[in-house]
Structure 1
Amino acid sequence: MQGHPRAQVPVTLGTFTQLYSCTPRGARLARRLVANRMHVWGFAYDSDVSETVTLVVAELAANAVRHGRARGRDIRVRLVLREDVVRVEVADGRADRLPVLRDPSDGEGGRGLLIVVALAERWGVEPREDGTYKTVWAEISLPERLGGMAGKSLPPGS
């Protein structure tokens, strides 16, 4: 008797979540702490993966500050490390302002999301059901699966 094949559930190897003020300073701090978290997870600061994840966070956090600022609401940055991807999530307080891909020839701004699209395997937007926040996310593929890390102990809070 044959059973039905099981769907592969992605294994989460580490998570990192932090709130930041919805200011340029908060976005800069997010970028720095994400670079540090990638280092804690075993990725060298100058590795392609670490630099890509850090750049994606920088662009999404800057977009959240510029387009998603809402009085009294912070931005939330979350990383999820899986065997084959790092998922970056940036939530801001303006669910009514969804990101728009712009033509790069339209002035000086509007290229941040194009950078994210170029670097990420997948990306998207998830508005919260209550309409108060939205999360813009991107997944960055890892050069090789990290299944071997599952047996290693990550530091507390990973």
Structure 2
Amino acid sequence: MNPETSQLMATARHFTLQLSSTPRGARLARLLAVEQLRSWGLEHMVEAVEQVVAELANNAVTHGHVSGRDFRVRVVATGAAVRVEVTDTRGDDAPLPEGVSLDAESGRGLLLVTALARGWGVRQGPAPQKTVWAELPFP
């Protein structure tokens, strides 16, 4: 391991939650992630990370819900970025940003994530799971 990687790992902070796949679980994911960022002294990241956690958790609850199965939220802060990961149990249903009509009442979540993050994607597995992640650079 090179010194840069060693330094990055030493300064990385992790936060993981497993929550019920319900609207209440999605709200708790957002609220608890925000409190964790504040406890790490990352107030300057709260607004953007709050939006990303809200969108990804809501998608997990809305589109990735399987009865009786929870979803997981993981937030990792390094010296350069905050990474948000949301894992659900619908690996067969990968998210796709779609064109949204101007009068639509929903469907803009991944467009918002794209605007806030320097990148996002989907990692499959282990079956039947998928993880949707987004990285937000420090300003």
Q: TM-score if structure 2 supplies the norm length?
A: 0.90
1:114 aligns with 2:98: no
Q: Unpaired segments of 5 or more residues in structure 1? A: 1-5, 144-158
Task: Letter of the 2:98 partner, please give it.
Answer: R
**Rg larger in 1 or in 2?**
1
Match of 2:69 in 1: 73
1:8: Cα distance to partner? 4.7
> Structure 1 runs of 4+ off > 6 angstroms?
none
| Paired-residue identity, % | 49
Aligned partners of 2:112, 2:38: CA distance in 1, in Å?
Answer: 22
Alignment of 1:35-114 (within 5 A): 35-44=34-43, 47=44, 49-105=45-101, 107-114=104-111
Alignment of 1:107-146 (within 5 A): 107-129=104-126, 131-143=127-139
Q: Give the helix-richer structure, 1 or 2.
A: 2
1:73: Cα distance to partner? 1.0
1:63: Cα distance to partner? 0.5
Task: Letter of the 1:74 partner, please give it.
Answer: D
Match of 1:152 in 2: none
Q: TM-score if structure 1 supplies the norm length?
A: 0.80
Aligned partners of 1:95, 1:62: CA distance in 2, in Å?
Answer: 16
Q: Unpaired segments of 5 or more residues in structure 2? A: none
Aligned partners of 1:84, 1:104: CA distance in 2, in Å?
Answer: 32
How many residues in Structure 1 have an aligned counterpart in Structure 2?
134
Aligned partners of 2:107, 2:13: CA distance in 1, in Å?
Answer: 32
